[in-house]
Amino acid sequence: NAGVMQNPRHLVRRRGQEARLRCSPMKGHSHVYWYRQLPEEGLKFMVYLQKENIIDESGMPKERFSAEFPKEGPSILRIQQVVRGDSAAYFCASSPRNRVGYGYTFGSGTRLTVV
Amino acid sequence: GIQVEQSPPDLILQEGANSTLRCNFSDSVNNLQWFHQNPWGQLINLFYIPSGTKQNGRLSATTVATERYSLLYISSSQTTDSGVYFCAVAKETSGSRLTFGEGTQLTVNP
């Protein structure tokens, strides 16, 4: 049973380019959560998605960031026109249901570096 | 929103020593997890423990939900225990959002 798979593990983008981060949840999990970890900081919630629906995007920056979780395929976190401040580790977690009281499993993260 | 405070922020141990990490939270929670982020950045789930006590090898955790704190115990520490330990909680009414503390940076020296 593969865990939560994130790719790429490392991503380097020049300022102004687009970054696409992918997350495949654990088998049987239909709920995906994205978190961002800035250098020397804890993880901050960004967005919660179910298949084809955004449930809570209150942690997403208002501009340049978007997320989707299509019916088929992985969840995608998209950052347009990246800036140096977007450099961070982006983690994805999944769960089989939206029921508070259920533990999360995290992927290994994607480390984005903007040069 | 809910506040999570972890202490100490930094901890340096000699191999073989024991330690206790603390997590205080500001409101009732329905989910509490301890994670270890190793030096390679991977986030490892240690315990799901909204209440009670659990043990896994040299690690154990206790959450006293009524007093809003959790403790992580590491016994006979090893150099591979080094990294950052995070506590994360979810309040019942906040859906599935986990709120993380700022972590405890643990360094175990040989």
pLDDT tens-digit readout, B40-99? 888 898 999 999 999 999 999 999 999 999 999 999 999 999 999 999 998 754 456 889
* pLDDT value of residue A39: 85
Q: Do B95 and A105 touch (CB under 8 A)?
A: no
Residues 1-30 on A with a CB inside 8 Å of B are: none
Phi, psi of B3 (to 5 degrees): -105, 140
**pLDDT band per the 50, 70, 90 thresholds, residue A31:** confident
Q: Is the peptide bond before B110 cis (omega within 30 degrees of 0)?
A: no
| β-bridge mates for residue B67, sequence order | none
CA-based torsion, A107, B71, B20, A39: positive or negative: positive
Average pLDDT, chain B: 92
Q: By a Cβ cutoff of 8 Å, what residues of chain B touch chain A?
A: 30-31, 33, 35, 41-43, 45, 48, 50, 86, 88, 90-92, 94-103
Instruction: Say which of B41, B86, B95 has its CB closest to residue A98.
Output: B95
Tell me how long chain A is: 115
Q: Do A106 and B99 touch (CB under 8 A)?
A: no
